[in-house]
Amino acid sequence: MIKNIILGIKAYFGAFSLISKLKLWKYFAIPMLISFITAIAVFASAYGLSDNVGTFISKIWIWDWGKDAFTTISTVIGGLVIIVIGLILFKHIIMALSAPFMSPVSEKIEAHLTGKSQHNHRNTTFLQQLWRGIRINGRNLLMELVLTIPILLLKFIPVVNIFSTILLFLVQAYYAGFGNMDYTLERHFKYKESTLFVKKHRGLAIGNGIMFILFLLVPVIGVILVLPLSVTAATTKTVEALQLKNNLQNA
pLDDT 10s digits, 19-64: 999 999 988 899 889 888 888 887 777 666 766 666 666 666 666 6
User: What would the pLDDT profile of 203-233 be if each residue is shown by its tens digit?
Assistant: 999 999 999 999 988 888 888 899 999 999 9
Q: Give the max Cα distance, the chain.
A: 71
How many residues comprise the chain?
A: 251
Whether the per-residue pLDDT at 251 is higher than 60: the answer is no
Domain span at residue 153? 2-250
Quote the pLDDT of residue 103. Answer: 85
Quote the pLDDT of residue 4. Answer: 93
Whether residue 186 contacts residue 122, with contact meaning beta carbons closer than 8 Å, is answered with: yes
List the beta strands (DSSP E) in 25-113.
none
Q: Left, alpha or beta for 159 (phi > 0: left; psi -120 to 50: alpha)?
A: left
DSSP designation for 156: G
Cα–Cα distance, 76 to 83 (Å, whole number) = 11
Closest CA to 10 of 243, 229, 241: 229
Quote the pLDDT of residue 42. Answer: 76
Closest CA to 69 of 85, 58, 60: 58
User: What would the pLDDT profile of 182-209 be if each residue is shown by its tens digit?
Assistant: 999 988 888 889 999 999 999 999 999 9
Contacts of residue 71, defined as CB under 8 A and 6 or more positions apart, other chains included, come to 54, 58, 61
User: What would the pLDDT profile of 136-184 be if each residue is shown by its tens digit?
Assistant: 888 998 999 899 888 877 766 777 777 888 998 999 999 999 999 999 9
How many structural domains compose the chain?
Answer: 1
Whether residue 184 contacts residue 242, with contact meaning beta carbons closer than 8 Å, is answered with: yes
Cα–Cα distance, 210 to 214 (Å, whole number) = 6
**Three-state SS for 61?**
coil
